[in-house]
Amino acid sequence: MLVRHASLVSDAVQPRIARLGPRPLRVHSVFRSAINVATSDGLLTVAAPGAGGLPNGIAADLGRDWRMIGVRPGMTVHASRTAVRIPGARLEIRLTAADGWSPRIGAIQVGAAETARRWRRRGPTAWTIARARSNAGGLGALLRQDGLPGGQAPFVDRARPMLAALTAALESGDRGSAASAAEGLIGLGPGLTPSGDDALVGIEAALHALGRPTAGFLVGAAHDLDERTTAVSATLLRHAVAGEFAERIHALLAALLGSDDAAIPAAIDRAVAWGATSGTDCLVGVLLGLDVAAGTERTAR
Amino acid sequence: MAAIRARVFRNTYRDSVELMQIAAEIESMDGIDRAGLVMATPANREVLEAAGLLSGEAAAAGPSDLVVAVAAADDEVATEALDHAATRLAGNGSDGSSEATRTDARTIAEAQAELGTADLALISTPGTYATAEALKALKRGLNVFLFSDNVPIEDEIELKSIAVAKGLMVMGPDCGTAILDGVPLGFANSVRRGSIGLVAASGTGLQQVSCLIDRFGAGVSQAIGVGGRDLDERVGGAMMLAGLQRLAADPGTDLIVLISKPPAASVASRVLEAAGAAGKPVVVNFLGGDPAAVVAAGALPAATFESAAAIASAIALGQPVPADEDLAGSEPDDDVLPGSSEGAWRIRGLYSGGSLAGEAKLILRAVLGPDQARTHEILDLGEDEYTVGRPHPMIDPRLRNEHLQAVARDPETAVILLDVVLGYGSHPDPAGALAGAIDAARAEAASQQRTFAVVASVCGTEGDPQGLASQEARLAAAGVILAPSNARAARIAAKIARSAAIPVGARA
């Protein structure tokens, strides 16, 4: 039995494992540096430490290419408070030595008005940097406005008016209309986490960070998620509704809302480096969300 | 008449990077008009339908299914594109680097039995399993080339102490390159054989020195990589010392070059002592280290990879040995320098080789002074933070091309500084891939009345699969200022930056 120690476990994971009880789970999918485990309550993800904290995640180092360590979709998984075991691959990931990590983005209590004011001042600069540094795939086209190679464009054309309707609804504080506007974005676009979902997660993160009453609006759109988007995305959307986000989104918001202007370019570079288009898609959502939450006048972009 | 075809891959999960890669490959096929490669969520099915790409079984697919849909010139092209997608999705997922040949042997013991005279095992399993495999190899009396990364340093210490006790070598972990008895391992170049032995704790450093030795007309007897942590205090330079000892005893080696970042003080003194006792000339290239200690030990200091290669080649060819300072001080002629746009002042280095990026930083510091040098930016795109979920930029040029487009859009960018690493294992046409991106970036800048310089060096030889001359020609055609070494490229970049006006208050 190969034993590895997880380095980080999301605070949202342990209660979930407890809720699931001793029933065996199944490997859902295996990637170069991640393994997803299907549960009746969404996916649990074991990912390489490089991915940072994930709301549904356990961080562990299982080698250079996890597709080659004998773990296959459908294999039985036993998860307990102390370990995740995949007997078919002779693999045990111990959780006992791992640090806990909270995926919650709580509202900034002190200085929220000042933070919003700061965003109104620096938002345009952040948009400019994002425009220059994001990649062109996915919703990156909304930043660029410079046309796109075939393939992806129809998604963008469809997403554009939906995002406009969504931000308008959020600006007027109308959770119901915001939820209906978000419906069409769920499952829309390329990637394992479709672009529309990534943007919605970003918007929710921004609303949570600035403590807007519209935070959590997605709950009204997040029904039947398993029929409407991929399992990975459905899981992350459910966490977003609960105010739980990946560590990289925490880091992006910390930089965008922090006191150091100079930290923004590097933070945006790191944000867009995530996955193929997911990083850019989420960044678009975060920027839109911050504009809405801080009451920034948006100009045509 | 156009053919619309779609194929559904049930319960297929691939990471987005891979999906994008396959989509890009299909879109670039001749006769493909449009292609979509998406998870079949209801929202995506609607989009495919609106785009006229939803056909047959794709209409009934669900969110855990991957749909590949194409609009092609005819049936044949459509089928070819879908077959291509199927092939790419059928494997374990390829990152372009997996050209490993398969043999029937399933264990080290079987392979050894089959080959009889084998004396080296190349191990590139995931790091988790690498130590166990390396232990088995050592137990069987085999030297180890350990390509795997993520091997804990405690394991490295143990493996190397066992190797020392048995008189064997452990090259690595995370050892990218070696040339042993003329056989290239990992990322290595096709280098002329000769009398210079190399030991290096630096992958692209070893490639750069060996390629320049080839360029200067000399040749390499053995090039031994030892892994980037070998000169760490805890490992104690175990394999650099063992390599040095072997080369000192090797009748085919007349002189030795050691390449590393500056080691821990205790390790440095041990290595220098051994170098002084080697009985052959030893050139020591501790990048950014103190030359005085090297001279005191009776060895020859070299400040850059190029000076290490130049000094060693001169000795091997019986020519006068150039002084290291002369090499370090050589300045490019002004007439090679282009002007830059107003407001442009910054050097943006986009590197695929970590050691080459490190060398460029040192040179900028030496030429421009530390305060100035800090305002410029040298990125090592091979570092983990950039390669999570993506292939290494020496294999796949897209990551760097994206960065190139981004820095080219920045009006402060005066010079883009690049390395192009050829050899076995590298991308088949790195210069071609870069040239396209450079052309596009220049065209965009020109539309805003801006320009920028691109300076590059190609690390490779004529014998490499990509061919040095044709790769250089491809870059020259794209208006790239070419330098014969990375050190010189960095100096040219520094000179351009120095001549550009620096706006008051500009900081990194």
Q: Supply the ipTM of this predicted assembly.
A: 0.86
Contact B70, B4 (CB under 8 A): yes
* Amino acid residing at A287: L
CB contact under 8 A, A278 and B16: yes
> Which percentage of chain B shows pLDDT scores above 70?
91
The C-alpha atoms of residue A116 and residue A118 are separated, in whole angstroms, by 5
In this prediction, residue B507 carries a pLDDT of 39
User: Which among A2, A29, A64 has CB closest to B150?
Assistant: A64
In this prediction, residue B326 carries a pLDDT of 57
Q: Give residue A60's Cα distance to chain centre.
A: 19
Q: pLDDT band at residue B16, thresholds of 50, 70 and 90? A: confident
Give the number of other CB atoms < 10 A from CB of residue B165.
9
The C-alpha atoms of residue B263 and residue B258 are separated, in whole angstroms, by 12
Residue B274, class by beta-carbon neighbours within 10 Å (0-12 exposed, 13-18 middle, 19+ buried)? Answer: buried
pLDDT at B29 over 90: no
How many angstroms separate the CA of residue A160 from the nearest CA in chain B? 13
Contacts of A50 in chain B (CB under 8 A): 384-385, 388
Per-residue pLDDT averaged across B214-233, rounded? 95
Q: Among A80, A78, A68, A92, which residue's Cα sits nearest to residue A37? A: A78
Tell me the pTM: 0.54
Residue B457 backbone dihedrals phi, psi, to 5 degrees: -125, 145
In this prediction, residue B25 carries a pLDDT of 84
For residue range A146-171, list pLDDT tens digits in order: 444 444 567 888 999 999 999 999 99
In this prediction, residue B149 carries a pLDDT of 81
The C-alpha atoms of residue A226 and residue A231 are separated, in whole angstroms, by 6
How many angstroms separate the CA of residue B374 from the nearest CA in chain A? 14
The count of CB pairs under 8 A between chains A and B is 154
Per-residue pLDDT averaged across B85-91, rounded? 81
Give the number of other CB atoms < 10 A from CB of residue A132.
18
For B313, the 3-state DSSP assignment is helix
> Which percentage of chain B shows pLDDT scores above 90?
60
**Tokens read off for B56:** 């047959």
Q: A2 to each of A8, A90, B270, how far by Cα in Å? A: 19, 6, 38
pLDDT at A104 over 90: yes
For A112, the 3-state DSSP assignment is helix
Q: Tell me what the pLDDT averaged over chain B comes to.
A: 87
- The residue assigned the tokens 């909304």 is A142
Give the angle subtended at the CA of B324 by the CAs of B319 and B327, to the nearest 5°.
Answer: 85
Residue B477 backbone dihedrals phi, psi, to 5 degrees: -65, -25
The C-alpha atoms of residue B428 and residue B431 are separated, in whole angstroms, by 9
Beta strands in B139-269 (DSSP E): 143-146, 170-171, 177-180, 183-186, 193-200, 220-225, 255-260
How many angstroms separate the CA of residue B81 from the nearest CA in chain A? 14
In this prediction, residue A229 carries a pLDDT of 96
At how many degrees (to 10) do helices B305-316 and B486-499 cross?
140
**Most confident residue range from A68-82, A99-113, B243-257:** B243-257
pLDDT at B303 over 50: yes
In this prediction, residue A150 carries a pLDDT of 42
Q: Is B100 an 8 Å CB contact of chain A?
A: no
Per-residue pLDDT averaged across A225-242, rounded? 95
Partners of residue B69 on adjacent β-strands: B6, B36
**Tokens read off for A258:** 């922090």
